[in-house]
Each structure stands twice: as structure tokens, then as C-alpha cells.
Amino acid sequence: MAEYFFELLTEEIPAWMFQSSWTTPVDTALEKLCGELGGGKWKTDATSRRLIIFLRDLPLREEDREIEVKGPPKKSPDAALQGFLKKQNATTGDIIESADEYIRIRKKIAGRDISALVQERIPQLIESLRWPKMMRWGAGGHSYIRPVHSIVSIFEGEHLPVTIFGVASDVKTVGHRTLAPQPFKVDSYHDYLKKLELASVDVEAAHRKNVMVQRALVLAKQAGGVPSEDVSIWAQWQYLTEYPGVVRAEFRPEYLALPEEVLVTVMRVHQKQLPIRDRDGKLTSSFLAVLDNEGDPEGNAAYGNSFVTNARFADAQFFYDTDRRKKLEERIEQLAHLQFQEKLGNYAEKTERVKRIAIAIASHIDADLGHVETAAKLCKADLVTEMVKEFTDLQGKVGGIYAREEGLPEPVWQAIYDHYQPANVDDALPRNLVGVIVSLADRLDTLTGFFRIGLKPTGSKDPFALRRAAQGAVQILLNRDQREVRLSIGELLDLVPESAAARTDLVAFFAERIATILEASAWQFAYDEIRAVMESGWLNIPLTDLVDRISALKAIRDEADFLSLLDSVKRITNITQDHDSTRVDASLFDSDIERRLNELADLVSSQIADFASERRYREALQSFAALAPELEKFFDDVMVMVDDERVRANRKSLLMKTAHALKPIADVRQIVVDRRDYRT
């Protein structure tokens, strides 16, 4: 069993890249490599400027193996055979019996040294990694995430020379950039861990994170609080340093009067700092920052972090004071100078359209028209505030905060605040119905606009995030509480007159979005269930009804009667391929079975219509399933393909009519039946 250790020393790599461009691809590649080598365990790690691989339990040599090699035809001249053997370094003794007309030999392939394989593969792996933003350096001959400084490559305690981008490996590395910069030798991974710990470097990212979390808790507790929950900060912090340090700093308490959203955004997004909250969850004037040092004995890092955060807040205070001298209402005309899209005009025009659509939606459902109009009119006004110009990710929120301070009614300011929600699948909907309507109207306008000027998403390209816009609209329409918007996509598109020109494309786009969203949803709908129901018409029913129909189908699809029915429908489909009438002539019946099926089909059809109108889809499907025994009986006792053309056509019509009874709810022909599952 052998060990291999590799370190590449580079310059500080952007923290957000490690997971996707190092850990994930390298783990995958090493898993494959160990499989190929016939065993071994792997571990990858990284600090802000080191990439580390450790392989252990490796076999020393690859297994020997035998392969068959095909030679010339048996009937070829001897010279051909000799040439072949010579080339393969074989003798006539290696020839084996073969059934076909070719000579075949068995050849032994000696397993290679694992070290030789590692020596070949590791440099290939490292050089082939594609980082999001590569650079060149020095003479400019190589392109990588950052310049390569040195490489440690050790196999079983011995240097295993490799070369990457012209840099030859060695067994030397360095410690922390400022605390222990002197080079030193290492002879194994464990030696490396130990020596680097003494040199103020914690090599293991997960360990650094744990240490930081613990320090953060202690430091926050000393300030009488707890660190804010923040997954993204921790994901970054662990790769921002080599030593897992955390420092606490304070900003001037008067800045606590600024909106909390602004304070948190400045700290988290712009400074990568972690706010501290008190026991009641209220923001305090203390916060935490990452520190690539063992401590802060002179308080320099605390001072520096306070200094820069105070400076940022001073700016924010300036923006806040400036912005509040002007009401949102007075900003609307400025929106005429802010372009939305070259061909779709400016934000004043967009606002007008959004307002019109929002009012149209609101008048179709029970919503406060006045609130909807005000919220829609003001929803984009914050785009011309100093605060949003500086902190763009606060759009919407800033408008909502200013609207609240202007004393606008709660439903209005909340609607402005929330109208960019849901920003993604996991995001919440706007808090109230007004917000939901404005969000929906904004999305419909954006989608219609871009589709109208021919800028719809293609393949993986979606530069205007239209899929996300549609996704949010669908999430809103799937919701059923006091914020429910019970309108179909068809009705909504009718409320946007400009959509007419691109209607076909928009409908197809929504169909695809809805199917994708439903398939990935918590309902766990199968693709054929979604298709069966959507095929029978989705455009003109509210999406909540669509979900109810699919749920009903999902619930019933494995019941014996329904499965039998599906079987019958398939038979009917085959029999009636060249037939397209459902008109039945009762005078042509010659058996009670036919008469009975006809009566039942009429009854079931009307039942299904009734149930459907009451949205009792489960019962509608059950009523359809009740046809199963009758249909089976029909197929057992009645011959469809009789000579009399009129009787034959009439029976086909009867079958078709029966099969069509469920058409308004689902096209059951789309259901895929696994035959092993049924008739047991």
C-alpha cells in the first residue's frame, strides 16, 4: 500500500471558485483514477493559495493482465504472420485457437508502477482544470487561475518529479505568507500537516471552518450576542485564509438608525463581514470579520475593519439622507432617463405597462385596486435613488423602506419591497396579494417584451433571466392561500395586449416551464402524468386546477380498474386509428352489451363534466375507471371488425366516444404502463 502527496503553491485564488472548480472536479477525477489503479483512497483540500491532493492505500503496481490481439487472416502468407509477431514482440507459441479466419495471439501486459502512472496523471489533471477566469503571468506562456509557484510531489517518502506549466516539483514548501515565510522540506502528508500547523497554516478547509465558527460564537457571546446565520459567508471565509482567524469590530452605534437591510448588505456583500445579533435577533453595532492571522494583539484588524465599515456606512447615511429629500412619487419622471431595454423603452414606460397589467389582474380577482395601482406605479422608483445606485442588490427593498417611511399603507410598501420575489425556487412569494399581483405583472411585461422583440432564451443562453421570470410567475400561480391568483395563463396573456404578436412562442415557453417546475416539485409528478393532463388542455385553466388534475391521476393510476381501462383505451386507439367519429346510431346495436356501454358512456361523460365543473377530479377519474368492466366485457363478447361496414363504423364510434369521456381532464393515452405491475 502506497501514499502520494501533492501540493501546488499558487497565489490567492478567488474563494467562490474552490468548490466548483477544485473540490468537485478533482474528487471525481481521483475517484476514477483510483478505480483505474485498482484501489486507493483520495482526499483533496485547499487553502487560499494551496491546492492539495493526498492519495493513500494505493497498490504499488497495477495488476498484470492478458489481452487478445487480432492478427492477419489465417490464409495470408507467412511473411505477414512473422511481421505481426515481430511487431507484437510475440512468438508462434503465443498463438491461440480462434474460431474465425484470423490469427489471434494472447499477450501479457505487465502492470505499470503506480508511481509512474501518478507521475503521468496528476500533472494532466491539474493542467486540464478549467477555472472560470484564467490569467497569464510573467512571459505569458501559460494560462491558469493564478501563477504557479512551487510543487511538492512525494510518493512513499520519495520525491516523484513532475512538471506543471514549466515548474518542476521539489519537496519544499513555505508556511504562512507573513507569519512563517521561510521554505522547509517535507517528507510525507502527515509531516506536511504537522510542519504547516507550526508554520501557522491550517491545511484542512473543513477544519478551518469549524475553528472559525467556534471563534465567532465566543467573540459574539462576549459582545452579548450571536453571529447571524449565513451559509454563504462561511463558504467564503474558509477559503479566504490559511489561518482560521476571526476578529470582532464595532461600527458607530448611530448607524443603527439606518435601515437594517442596508447595514446587513454592506457588511455581508461588500465587506464579507458577519453581523452580530442580540438575543432578540436585533442587529448590534458589533460584527465579525475574517482574519488571516493568529490574533490581533494591537487591535489593528479591529480598528481597520471598524474604519472601513464606518466609511461605508457614512456613504450609506449620505445616500439615505439625500434620497429622503425626495418622495418616490417625484422620482417617477426620472425613470424616463433610465433605459430598460433599447427596444422596450425606459423604466417610466415599463412602469406604465406594469401598472396597466396589474390593474387588469386586480380587477379580475378580489384585490384592492387603489393599493395595486399605487404599488405598481412606485415599484421601480427606487432605481433612481442613490442607495440603489450604490447597492443594486437592494432594489425593491429600498423602495419599500422609503414607502414605509413616507407613511404609505402597509400593503403598498410591502408590495414594493417584495415585488422582485420569488427570485428563485427557494425564495418566498411577496407577503401580500398586492405584492403578488405587481410581481406577476412585472414578469408578464418583461416576458412579453423580450419575446416580442425576438430575444427569447435559446439553449443554455438566457441573458435576460426570462426562465427565472417565468418560473416566479408559475410559483405565484401555483400558490393557494389568501394570495391566490386564480387566473389561467391564457387569461393572463389576454390581459397583456402586446403579447398577441408572440403568443404562440409564449404559450410554448410557459408549457415547457410549467412541465419542468411540476416535475421537480414536491408533488413528485411523473413526466407522463404531467403530459397526460397538459395534453387535454392547460392554457385556459388555473394552474392550481392543473395540479389537482395531475394529483388525481397520480392517485388513481395504479388501481386495477384504471389499469385495465388504460389497456382498453390503448386497444381502442389501435382499432380506431382510421376513424374519427363519436356519433353513435343506437338502431344499429344488436346486443345489450353495446346498449349498456353506450348508456354508461353517456352517463360517465356527464358525470365527468359535473365533477370537473366542481373540481372533483378524483371522482371524475373514478367514474371513468368504472367503465373498465363494461369495456372488458365488450371486447370479450362483441366483434368490432365485422363485415357490415355500418355496424363496424358504429362500434368504432361507440368505442371512441367511451374513450373520449375523460378527454376534458386527461389524455390517458400518454400514460406509460409498466406491464409487470398490473394484472397480478
Partner 1 sequence: MPPVTFQSLILTLQNFWAERGCAIEMPMDIEVGAGTMHPATYLRVLGPEPWNVGYVQPSRRPADGRYGDNPFRLGKHYQFQVILKPSPLDVQDLYLDSLRAIGLDLTKHDIRFEEDNWESPTLGAWGVGWQILLDGMEITQFTYFQQAGGIDLAPISAEITYGLERLTMFLSRKSSVYDIDWVGGVSYGAIRKQDEYEFSKYYFETADIDLHWKLFDAYEGEARRCLDAKLVLPAYEWTLKCSHLFNTLDARGAVSVTERVGVIKRVRDLAVRCAQQYLESRRDLGFPLMQRNEGNSSS
Please give the residue ranges that form the binding site for partner 1 (CB under 8 A). 11-12, 14-16, 48, 133, 135-141, 147, 149, 177-179, 181, 240-241, 245, 247, 249, 271-273, 289-293, 296-298, 300-301, 303-305, 307-308, 310-311, 314-315, 318, 337-339, 346
Q: Cβ(542)–Cβ(486) under 8 Å? A: yes
276 versus 661: smaller Cβ distance to partner 1: 276
Residue 245 CB, nearest approach to partner 1 (Å): 7
Which DSSP letter does residue 168 get?
E
Q: How many angstroms separate the CA atoms of 659 and 240, rounded? A: 65
Find the angle CA(579)-CA(580)-CA(584) to the nearest 5 degrees.
95
Q: Which is nearer to partner 1, 296 or 373 (CB)?
A: 296
Q: Please state the φ and ψ torsions of residue 173, each to the nearest 5 degrees.
A: -140, -175
Whose Cβ is closer to partner 1: residue 145's or residue 565's? Answer: 145
Closest to partner 1 by CB, 15 or 492:
15
Q: Closest separation between CB of residue 219 and partner 1, Å?
A: 15
Question: Cβ of residue 249: shortest distance to partner 1, in angstroms?
Answer: 8
Q: Which of 168, 248, 263 is nearest to 215 (CA)?
A: 248
CB of 141 to partner 1, least distance (A): 8
Q: Which residues are paired to 46 by β-bridges?
A: 51
Amino acid at 461: K
- Which bin fits 131, alpha (ψ -120 to 50), beta or left (φ > 0)? beta
Cell of 353: 405597462
Give phi and psi for 368, each to the nearest 5: -75, 105
Cβ proximity to partner 1: between 137 and 523 the closer is 137
Which residue carries 472559525 as its cell?
212
DSSP for 434-464, please give it: HHHHHHHHHHHHHHHHHHHTT---BTTB-TT
For residue 149, the minimal CB distance to partner 1 (Å) is 6
Length of the chain: 680
Closest CB to partner 1 among 23 and 334? 334
278 vs 315, which CB is nearer to partner 1? 315
- Looking at the Cβ atoms of 6 and 243, the one nearer to partner 1 is 243
Q: Which residues contact 164 (CB under 8 A, 6 or more apart)?
A: 8, 123, 126, 127, 148, 151
CB of 292 to partner 1, least distance (A): 5
| Least spacing, CB of residue 44 vs partner 1, in Å | 21
For 139, phi and psi rounded to 5 degrees?
-70, -15
If phi > 0 it is left, if psi is from -120 to 50 it is alpha, else beta; for residue 639 that is beta
Residue 119, all three cell numbers: 507521475
Q: Which is nearer to partner 1, 11 or 559 (CB)?
A: 11
* 656 and 640 Cβ atoms separated by less than 8 Å: no
The smaller minimum CB distance to partner 1, of residues 176 and 397, is found at: 176
Collapsed DSSP state (helix, strand, coil) of residue 259: coil
Least distance from C-beta 394 to partner 1, angstroms?
Answer: 20
Write down the least CB distance from residue 177 to partner 1, Å.
Answer: 7
Residue 18, φ and ψ in degrees, nearest 5:
-60, -45
- Shortest Cβ 293–partner 1 spacing (Å): 5
Amino acid at 99: A
| Residue at 420: amino acid letter | Y
Q: How far is the CB of 263 from partner 1 (least distance, A)?
A: 16
Torsions phi, psi of 363, nearest 5? Answer: -80, -15
Shortest Cβ distance from residue 78 to partner 1 (Å)? 59
Nearer to partner 1, 13 or 493 (CB): 13
Cβ-contact 450, 468 below 8 angstroms: no
Measured from the CB atom, is 67 or 139 closer to partner 1?
Answer: 139
Are 264 and 319 spatial neighbours (Cβ–Cβ below 8 Å)? no
Which helix (DSSP H) or strand (DSSP E) does residue 198 occupy? helix 189-198
Rounded Cα distance between 475 and 629, Å, is: 40
Identity of the residue, 304 or 370, whose beta carbon is nearer to partner 1 in the bound complex: 304
Measured torsion, CA atoms of residues 595, 598, 604, 608, in degrees rounded to the nearest 10:
-170
Amino acid found at 499: S
CB nearer partner 1, residue 272 or residue 660: 272
Question: Shortest gap between Cβ of 380 and partner 1 (angstroms)?
Answer: 15
User: 658, 595 in Cβ contact below 8 A?
Assistant: no
Rounded to a whole number of angstroms, the minimum distance from the CB of residue 520 to partner 1 is: 32
One-character DSSP codes across 527-566:
HHHHHHHHHT--TTSBHHHHHHHHHHHHHHTTSHHHHHHH
